[in-house]
Amino acid sequence: MKHLLATDLDGTILEHKGTFNSADLEVLNQLGDEGAIRVVATGRTLQSALSVLWADFPIDYLVFSSGAGIYCWKEKRILQTRHLGYQRAKQLVAVFQKHHVEYTLHYPIPENHLFFHPEGDGKHPDFERYLQFNQAHAELINGLVPEMDYTQTLAFMPDMSVFQAIEAQVQDVKVVRATSPIDGCSIWMECFDKEVSKANGILDVCRLENIDEAKVAVVGNDYNDLDMLNRFANAFVVANAPQELKQQYTQLCSVVNAPLNDWKLRFSF
């Protein structure tokens, strides 16, 4: 029976400076030669992922936007999407406004790199950095919610107490905690359709390829990988992951030291 390796992207195999380790790429090539299915499961949008993964990057599937979409790498086409929708986005905005947190509303896939945002109350510094970094994709709104089939919302949390307070007030959505890839420490809250997760995206690939989930290995580095780390028995984190994750899962070397190569040498399938 076939095996499947799923790896996160940023901070797991993609370094902060935007480079991959050649030893990790060689592992992905070897796995392809062995008939294994290779998946990148990332929080990035499709457009953002395509900006760092070249056309013949050695994978078979891309699970993007934390599982909101699945992309067949060989055929270069989207296979599946799950959207948050307008009504749930509108309900989330009401909660965000109540707590005075900045947020973004993302277009439907495949244009979900585009987003609306209000001017904001508290001017969270990471929100400001996010807008500066994504200025070409941002559109200012006055706090109302334009009617659209949104993929997700993104909110910028001042601390975990606010995160937990908001999480307790939202229903019928999937809440994902992520660490900002911009400053490496700010807390992000991403809200999706309740069926969205990296784990579900990987399971969908398993169904497409007739792979038993016991034959799956996953590698991650942050809180937004928890769904897949908790779902699959063969779960690994890199050495640059938060300490609490390293205490729960088998540890590989850091992103700069080729963790997939470390996995291949010490564990493999």
Domains of the chain (ranges; CATH) run 4-81+196-266 (3.40.50.1000), 86-193 (3.30.1240.10)
Strand order in the sheet with 216-220: 77-81, 69-72, 61-64, 37-41, 4-7, 216-220, 234-237, 250-251
Report how far residue 1's alpha carbon sits from residue 211's, in angstroms, rounded to the nearest whole number.
7
Report how far residue 187's alpha carbon sits from residue 72's, in angstroms, rounded to the nearest whole number.
31
Report how far residue 244's alpha carbon sits from residue 160's, in angstroms, rounded to the nearest whole number.
15
Threshold 0.85, pTM exceeds: yes
Q: How far is CA 210 from CA 101, 188, 201, in A?
A: 43, 34, 14
- Phi and psi, residue 152, nearest 5°: -165, 170
The reported pLDDT for the residue numbered 119 is 81
The reported pLDDT for the residue numbered 121 is 66
Task: Report the phi/psi class of residue 93: left, alpha or beta, with left for phi > 0 and alpha for psi in -120 to 50.
Answer: alpha
The reported pLDDT for the residue numbered 212 is 97
What pLDDT tens digit does each residue of the chain (269 aa) get? 799 999 999 999 999 888 999 999 999 999 999 999 999 999 999 999 999 999 999 999 999 999 999 999 999 999 999 999 999 999 999 999 999 999 999 999 999 999 999 986 667 999 999 999 999 999 999 878 999 999 999 999 999 999 999 999 999 999 999 999 999 999 999 999 999 999 999 999 999 999 999 999 999 999 999 999 999 999 999 999 999 999 999 999 999 999 999 999 999 88
Report how far residue 220's alpha carbon sits from residue 153's, in angstroms, rounded to the nearest whole number.
22
